[in-house]
């Protein structure tokens, strides 16, 4: 006869293991957004990026024309983030490499 406690622990462990991404990580990418031409542009860019599922933090700087974005790589990727800025009218490009 099987031990019901051990079986319950095993099932709980399996549920946890398969319900959360095993290799998810927070990543940060810096995007150049050269199309920002006024003080209101960073607000639009930040709002567009923040709507991407998985983005956890966004800092947009008008003076340097860049956005620093932190995201969960199990839910979002750089292409989705750049697509969001482009759809808002501000095409972006990766500056350096994603961390």
pTM: 0.74
In-domain check, residue 30: yes
64-93 pLDDT per residue, tens: 999 999 999 999 999 999 999 999 999 999
22-58 pLDDT per residue, tens: 567 899 999 999 999 999 999 999 999 999 999 999 9
C-alpha count within 13 angstroms, C-beta hemisphere, residue 87: 12
User: What letter does residue 89 receive in the DSSP assignment?
Assistant: T
What domain range includes position 28?
23-94
Domain at 59, CATH number:
3.30.70.100
Structure tokens at 25: 């990580």
Structure tokens at 92: 């972006």
In-domain check, residue 42: yes
In-domain check, residue 6: no
User: What letter does residue 85 receive in the DSSP assignment?
Assistant: H
């Amino acid at each position: 006869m099987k031990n019901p406690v051990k079986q319950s622990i095993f099932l709980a462990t399996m549920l946890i293991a398969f319900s959360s991404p095993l290799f998810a990580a927070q990543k940060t990418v810096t995007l150049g957004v050269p199309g920002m031409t006024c003080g209101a542009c960073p607000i639009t860019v930040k709002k567009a990026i923040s709507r991407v599922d998985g983005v956890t933090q966004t800092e947009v700087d008008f003076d340097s024309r860049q956005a620093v974005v932190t995201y969960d790589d199990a839910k979002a990727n750089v292409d989705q983030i750049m697509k969001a800025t482009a759809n808002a009218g501000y095409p972006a490009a990766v500056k350096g490499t994603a961390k």
